[in-house]
Amino acid sequence: MQLGWLIVIIICSFLEAITINLVSIWFIVSALVALIVSIFTDSFVIQMAVFVLLGTILLFTTRRPLQKMVSNYKDKTNIDRILDMNGIVTEKITKNRSGVVKIDGKYWTAVADTEIEVDSIVKVLEINSVKLKVEKVED
């Protein structure tokens, strides 16, 4: 029966790898425990009970907290690194019209709440799609 539990572990591992839903991972653990139990007893009923009960208990007690931990983690992309960086205005920005700023050697369309003249130094506040929201840096 140990071979059967190894197959269950491999199948659940494959399913978890392709879905990433944090469901079958608990059954991988319970199948591993059932595999260990199968060393000590030949009773399929006991092994299956351990597998189902432990998998269900782990699923309902640990899935939600783990999902919250995983969802709170945010990978920064390359574009995020320009947040809080300073740049220079190369095309005037008005309240109703976007302008252009140069940051880190690249040109970006930028908007601001106030009018900002060419050659002013600005700081990136946020990124909205492909536009930057900037504010003038006071000298």
The pLDDT tens digits of the residues spanning 84-98 come to 899 999 999 998 899
Taking 70 as the threshold, does the pLDDT of residue 73 lie above it? Answer: no
The yes-or-no verdict on residue 77 having pLDDT over 70 is: no
59-to-22, 29, 55, 100 alpha-carbon distances in Å: 8, 10, 6, 51
Q: With contact defined as beta carbons under 8 Å apart, do 95 and 117 qualify?
A: no
Distance CA 97, CA 115 (A): 9
Residue with tokens 């991988």: 28
Q: List the domains of the chain with CATH numbers.
A: 2-72 (no CATH), 78-136 (2.40.50.140)
pLDDT (average), residues 34-51: 94
Structure tokens at 24: 């079958």
CB 88 within 8 A of CB 126: no
Assessment of whether the complete model's pTM goes beyond 0.75: no
Instruction: Name which of 8, 100, 88 is nearest 51 in CA terms.
Output: 8
Which position has the higher pLDDT, 53 or 72? 53
Is the Cα dihedral 103, 107, 113, 116 positive or negative? positive
Q: Which residue has the higher pLDDT, 138 or 135?
A: 135
Contact (CB, 8 A) for 44 and 8 = no
Per residue in 119-135, pLDDT (tens digit) is 999 999 998 888 999 99
